[in-house]
Amino acid sequence: MRVVVVQFPGTNCEFDTRYAFERLGAKVEILWHKEREIPQGSDLVVLPGGFSYGDYLRSGAIARFSPIMEGVRRFAQKGGYVLGICNGFQILLESHLLPGAMKRNANLHFISKFHHIKVLHNDNKFLSKTRKGEILYIPIAHAEGNYYVDDEELKRMHERGQILLQYCDAKGEYANPNGSLEAIAGICNEQKNVFGLMPHPERACEPLLGSDDGLRMLQGFLD
C-alpha cells in the first residue's frame, strides 16, 4: 500500500497523516505541490489539513491551481482514491472534484475540539471498516467548515449515498458545531473514489490522546 501525502505551502498536518498511515503499515511519501504527477504505483493520495496559501482569498482557492492538482485530477479520473482532510477537503471543493462549498462557521469562531460524527454509509472504501450508524469520536479544527450545496445537488447526493458523515452528539442525536447544511461532516463523489471530511482522523490514532477511531476510518484504504 503506497500513500502519497501532498504538501502545499502552509500545510501542517502532513507529518501526522504520515504517522497514521505508517502505523497502519503503509508506505508513505510526502510530495511537494510543485510536482506534476502522482508517482506510478500509488494507491491513495491524501490532501492533508493546514492553511495552504494562508487561506488567502478563500480556503483552498489558490492551492487548487498548484501544479500537482492536475496530477491529482488525472489520478482521480483513472479511479485512484483521493482523500481530503479539512483544508484538503476545502481544496477538493474548490477544484470541483467534490460538489459544494465551504462558508465561515456559523458562529464565526475557529472551532477546535473533539466531536462525535455518525457514519451514514459504509458501502465505500473509506468507511468500509466502520459500521453504518456507528458514532465515532474525532477532533475537528477549522474556521470554514460550514458546508453548503444547493438543494438539487443535495437531493442527488442523498440518492447516490454521497453524504457519508454527519456531526452528532454522543447519543447520535443531531448536533451541529459549525452550521453545516444537515450537519454534514464528510462526503464523497458519485464514483465513490474521492472523499472529503472536515474532522481529522489522523489525530485520533492513539487511545492515550483521546480516541483511536480515526485508525478504523483510514484502515479502509489498506485492503
Partner 1 sequence: MRAVVNIHLKQGVLDPQGKAVHHALGSLGFHSPQEVRVGKQILLELREGLSHEEALEEVRQMCERLLANTVIEEYQIEILP
Return the C-alpha torsion angle 147, 81, 124, 24, nearest 10: -100
Nearer to partner 1, 93 or 164 (CB): 93
Question: Is 158 among the residues known to form the active site?
Answer: no
Question: Is 96 among the residues known to form the active site?
Answer: no
The rounded distance, in Å, linking the Cα atoms of 62 and 85 is 17
Angle at alpha carbon of residue 189, lines to 188 and 190, rounded to 5°: 125
Q: In whole angstroms, how close is the CB of 179 to partner 1 at the nearest point?
A: 7
Nearer to partner 1, 172 or 179 (CB): 179
Question: Is 200 among the residues known to form the active site?
Answer: yes
Largest CA-CA distance found in the chain, in angstroms, rounded: 45
**Of 13, 86, 188, 205, catalytic:** 86
**133 phi, psi to nearest 5 deg:** 85, -10
Q: In whole angstroms, how close is the CB of 193 to partner 1 at the nearest point?
A: 21
Q: In whole angstroms, how close is the CB of 25 to partner 1 at the nearest point?
A: 38
Q: Dig out the grid coordinates for 91 from the structure.
A: 481544496
Nearer to partner 1, 57 or 209 (CB): 57
Going by C-beta distance under 8 Å and a sequence separation of 6 or more, which residues neighbour residue 209? 203
Residues found near partner 1 in the complex (CB under 8 A) = 57-58, 61-62, 65, 93-94, 100-101, 103-108, 146, 148-150, 179
Catalytic residues: 86, 200, 202
